[in-house]
Structure 1
């Protein structure tokens, strides 16, 4: 039995690294703590509880996690510090050695994090609570907004793919999901809470349904019927799981936006085989062509990893040519990072850090060119924009259905409101189009 009085009038600070799924889960931690009487610490306030939700997708991610933990300890002296997330699952002993940490919670334990807080009494040495991969079985629901306009709805967790470069299956466990009924009910609650846009999140989102004998397309169809939610976006979906049926449905959907995020990782079939990806470039090109044939104005974001083991200059050049040929909007470029325990370590041919950087810059230049060309098509058009709370007092931003970022002078009353806007020229940083309210 938890003594609620321990938490009354306490303050909590949160720090999240990594994916949208982590942000959704952190928001859920905050929601639970608020139910126990804990409020979020304001700027410059010293918190009583600190929760750091970590990522471990690269060595740099691990480093940022360690830095974040140490910074939270400095900024909130005496706070009870909880570390969870992928880094916590993979390297709990490493984290317990960091000064100030009280508990480390693995993937299976974080759903019950409140039980591990005890009486918030700091002891000598941190305690780690984790389980082995095969014991990570629970699906913990999450649908939270946090400080964002958009809600993030977790529909799936874990991954069965075990790509050679990736540790996420070891950190998140095997693929599992909630039921369609429970997820639709969460979406309805988000609508009642004033949400207008929901981003569907997961580790391998398109793999939804394994544990409930349901399908992702059936989930999409039922979410499309949720009244009050005006926009759904699919955060990321593997190309082999992005079926033609899903594309065709989104093309005529009432609420699913013309916005796709598809991981490619490499435009070389040889490298895709080394990665143990479950598709080839021909399938990926077909998906892009299918989208553009049905939804010419669709935004298509693509993940690419550069410098993986085995990526020779010849393979990279092929990848570059393939990516340039695609009618896509934006690239998310990541440099390969060695991860202990992965099969990639057995692959010959290492790429130097300098070469990784050069390859990243070449891809980012392609990305900038493609994004600007996409934006330019819509200058002068009128489009509905969902605005988000301004981060400074001068301007605010929002997004069109096809994810064009729009900038207008700050109107606080437009937070979480959809308004028609005439799209103008690029802003000074060329990261958004200037908009004029209609």
Structure 2
């Protein structure tokens, strides 16, 4: 083992990035590298970057510094969305040796011939139009759940978004491959799979940007529901216009899909939705929420929302605030709008001052706390199933019910990655729910 090269990974951004990092890590293992935690000394550090956060470059520089502090001779490689959008910027960061774009990241081991440091980062990145093939991936970092990638890229033209520039056209994994990956995950004893992609509701478009759908998202869900050995399937973020009533009805009766939806709204004002070039109006969004509530009254519904988009006046922001306040949802993910190069929104008039963006963001985060609390309160005195996580947090083990209520009980390692029927009793001071076991767990 003395000559085995050690590799460590750091992932920024979304669940999709986590699934891809895991796949890249398995490629390294296949080539004889030993994977170690990022905090340990490694010969190579691979950083999977994100372009969504405002301070992506700042975060990246901090992580490079951290790696070089552990081993100043380490070889540093950057992959991911930011590496595709701004390869030269990343290559110029002190200590970076290799930057790989969207098509190259899965072939990273081909580019690492010798590990000597470069004066300037070497860049291999394609024109994004060349990212027309699909690489399937899934993550297995946490023993309790895995992120399974089913789709990549996006054909939408939202005016604030760089993801089509970073990831290319919408394309999907084959049905056979998704089902094979799901079976592999189940065979590893993982209890929950989260479906992930850039625009998963668009699932079914062929590998080479073929606009024709080989399969629909509903067919994907129906087929996954039959895979043996999976206890839970969760749909991650899905566009409201692509979340069809048939899918909602299927989830309501499914044996494995859980009653939890995360549906991006972005704005509760039709004026702003049109400026964003979103593919729906607020009325459609309201219909989706009503439909879910009709067939799954206890479902958890999460919402993405952007504040401070150009042209968002106080009145238009209040439209969003009141729309969300009146909507029967469970929590919000609030994003403060930030300008992105090469997007339409970056040159729009009506720029909202940074302090106003911050204030609006704070208001919506406050609303999210209120919404989550009301959702948790509505679930008290009801029975659910919990899947326990693997971390000991200050003497407690945490878990999530099928409808995404976070619960806790005193730490017991034997509970990790097990499912139990529970009865929700009260909300603790930290906002996490306490419960009673319906049947006391028996350990062998």
Structure 2 residue aligned with 1:433:
433
Q: 1:375 to 1:61 in 2, by over 3 A?
A: same
Are 1:30 and 2:31 matched, yes or no? no
CA distance in 2, matches of 1:148, 1:22: 18
Q: Which moved more, 1:300-309 or 1:381-390?
A: 381-390
Structure 1 residue aligned with 2:63:
68
Say whether the 8 Å CA contact 1:408–1:434 is kept in structure 2: yes
Q: 1:171 to 1:356 in 2, by over 3 A?
A: same
CA distance in 2, matches of 1:354, 1:284: 29
Say whether the 8 Å CA contact 1:8–1:37 is kept in structure 2: no
Residues 319-340 of structure 1: CA deviation (Å, up to 9, x unaligned): 1111111100000000000001
Superposition pairs of residues 26-425 of structure 1, within 5 angstroms: 26-42=21-37, 44-211=39-206, 213-392=214-393, 394-425=395-426
* Alignment match of 2:11 (pick from 10, 16, 20): 16
Q: Which moved more, 1:295-304 or 1:73-82?
A: 73-82
Residues 19-59 of structure 1: CA deviation (Å, up to 9, x unaligned): 00001111112222222332232475311110100001133
Structure 1 residue aligned with 2:210:
none
CA distance in 1, matches of 2:331, 2:199: 20
Say whether the 8 Å CA contact 2:9–2:38 is kept in structure 1: no
CA distance in 1, matches of 2:37, 2:129: 40
Say whether the 8 Å CA contact 2:143–2:190 is kept in structure 1: no
Deviation at 1:368, TM superposition (A): 0.9
Q: 1:148 to 1:314 in 2, by over 3 A?
A: farther
Q: 1:144 to 1:298 in 2, by over 3 A?
A: same
CA distance in 1, matches of 2:145, 2:3: 29
CA distance in 2, matches of 1:10, 1:384: 43
Deviation at 1:151, TM superposition (A): 0.7
Structure 2: unaligned runs, 5 residues or longer: 207-212, 440-444
**SS at the partner of 2:293?**
helix
CA distance in 2, matches of 1:119, 1:311: 52
CA distance in 2, matches of 1:118, 1:217: 44
Q: 1:222 to 1:376 in 2, by over 3 A?
A: same
CA distance in 2, matches of 1:91, 1:76: 25
Deviation at 1:71, TM superposition (A): 2.1
Aligned-residue Cα RMSD (Å) equals 1.5
CA distance in 1, matches of 2:81, 2:411: 37
Say whether the 8 Å CA contact 2:203–2:217 is kept in structure 1: yes
- Alignment TM-score, normalising by the size of structure 2: 0.94
- Alignment TM-score, normalising by the size of structure 1: 0.95
Residues 249-295 of structure 1: CA deviation (Å, up to 9, x unaligned): 11111111000000000000000000000000000000000000010
Residues 120-147 of structure 1: CA deviation (Å, up to 9, x unaligned): 2323321011001211112111022113
Aligned length in residues: 432
